[in-house]
Homo-oligomer: A and B are copies of this chain.
Amino acid sequence: MSLAMTEDEITLAIVQAIKEGKKNTVQDLLYELHPYDIAQQYRHLPIKHRSKFLLSISLEQLTGFINELEKEEQLDILYKLGIEKTTEVLDLMENDDLANLLTDLEPDKIEELLSGMKEEESEIVQNLMNYPSETAGRIMNNRYVWIDEHYTVREAVDKLKDFAELAQYLNYLYVIDQDKKLVGVVSYKDLLLADLYDKIEDIMFSRVVKVDVLTDQEEVAKLIRRYDFVAMPVVEDDNHLVGIITVDDIIDVVIQEANEDIEKLSASGKAIDFNTKPWVAAYRRLPWLILLLLIGLVSGSIIDGFSATIEKVIALTFFMPMIAGMTGNTGTQSLAVVVRGLVSKDLDFKESLKLILRELWVGIIIGIICAIMISIIAVVWKGKVIGLIVGSSLLLTLIIGTLAGTIIPLVLYKFNVDPAVASGPLITTLNDILSLLIYFGIATMFISKYSEILL
Contacts and interface: CB of A to CB of B under 8 A. Distances in A.
Contact of A286 (B268, B369, B424): B369
Given A274-B351, A279-B361, A289-B366, 15 more contacts: A3-B206, A168-B187, A169-B228, A225-B255, A229-B248, A262-B336, A273-B337, A292-B322, A292-B325, A296-B321, A296-B323, A299-B322, A301-B318, A303-B318, A307-B317
A227 B282 contact: no
Contact of A337 (B168, B272, B300, B319): B272
A205 interface: yes
Interface string A239-265: 000000001101110110011011101
A337 B270 CA distance: 10
Contacts of A290: 370, 373
Looking at chain A's contact residues, is the secondary structure mostly helix, strand, loop, or mixed? Answer: helix
Interface string A262-303: 110111110011101111011001101110110111011101
Interface stretch (A31-39, A102-110, A173-181): A31-39
A304 B315 CA distance: 7
A188 interface: yes
A12 interface: no
Contacts of A377: 297
Contact of A224 (B251, B285, B303): B251
A164 interface: yes
A329 B274 contact: no
A347 interface: yes
Interface core residue of A168, A252, A282 (most chain B CB under 10 Å): A282
Interface string A330-359: 101111110111011101000100110011
Copies in the complex: 2
B358 A281 contact: yes
A127 interface: no
Given A292-B325, A296-B326, A377-B297, A343 B272 contact: no
A314 interface: yes
B310 A34 contact: no
Contact of A230 (B230, B269, B311): B230
A329 to B, nearest CB: 6
Contacts of A332: 266-268
B225 A248 contact: yes
Contact of A322 (B251, B266, B297): B297
Nearest to A321: B299
Contacts of A207: 2-3, 32-33
Nearest to A282: B365
Contacts of A432: 321, 325
B165 A336 contact: no
A303 to B, nearest CB: 5
A337 B227 contact: no
Contact of A326 (B276, B292, B347): B292
Nearest to A311: B314
Contacts of A361: 278-279, 282
A447 B418 CA distance: 47
Interface string A113-154: 000000000000000000000000000000000000000000
A404 to B, nearest CB: 15
A214 interface: no
A18 interface: no
A167 interface: yes
A428 B325 CA distance: 10
A237 B290 CA distance: 56
A274 B345 contact: yes
A265 B267 contact: no
Contacts of A262: 258, 261-262, 265, 336, 339-340
